Amino acid sequence: MSGAQFVRPARPSDVDTVVDVQVASWREVYGGLLPGEVVAEIGGEEARRGFHAQWSAALESPPTSRHRLVVATDENDGVRTVVGFAAFGPAGDPDLWPATAAEIFALHVDPALTRRGHGGRLLNATVDHLVEDGFVIAYVWVPEADNALRAFFESSGWAPDGARRVIDLGSELPMVRLHAGIG
């Protein structure tokens, strides 16, 4: 039975679970869009150590006071677990003004627990934090091809703004930037 569901600031003790969710989610979202060896590397020990260091640093010394990492939790049979996370802060793209434009750097839910409201709670909490920090518009990069992450954001009212980029991960992965007014 599902109990209380919350979004709260991430803690150092959450980092291992954040990495687990990231790896599982990336395999789900990017698995069909990348070469098999790249997908395999995503969950390898070297990549996991890098992700762990990245999220630990994000908690210990964020680049600004407006950079945050939050987790979605769920309680089942009296046990509270982390089921997803979001990282966000001032936008980093050179064509955006970071004083008023925010970026969601990551928003992922354990693929085994999707379609239960966790992503929506994470997105709503993220937008609440961004509005509190004075942002009026938010952006997120997603794969251009049809995928669950892009569909989630678009079903939440986000739309492409015309910006594109290509990430080379052994093969080219076209990305599009979505945006939503939040202020």
Each residue's pLDDT expressed in tens, for the chain with a length of 183 residues: 456 778 999 999 999 999 999 999 988 888 888 888 888 888 889 999 999 999 999 999 999 999 999 999 988 777 888 999 999 999 999 999 999 999 999 999 999 878 888 999 999 999 999 999 999 999 999 999 988 899 999 999 999 999 999 998 778 899 999 999 997
Nearest Cα to Cα of residue 42 among 56, 55, 53, 31: 31
Q: What letters, b where the CB count within 10 A reaches 16 and e where it falls short, cover 68-88? A: bbbbbbbeeeeeeebbbbbbb
Please give the pLDDT value at position 1. Answer: 41
Please give the pLDDT value at position 2. Answer: 52
Instruction: Identify whether the C-beta of residue 175 lies closer than 8 Å to the C-beta of residue 164.
Output: yes
Please give the pLDDT value at position 3. Answer: 62
Q: In 3-state terms, what secondary structure has residue 4? A: strand
Does the domain at residues 2-181 carry the CATH identifier 3.40.50.720?
no
Is this model's pTM higher than 0.85 or not? Answer: yes
- In three-state form (DSSP H/G/I as H, E/B as E, the rest C), the secondary structure along 94-105 is CCCCCCCEEEEE
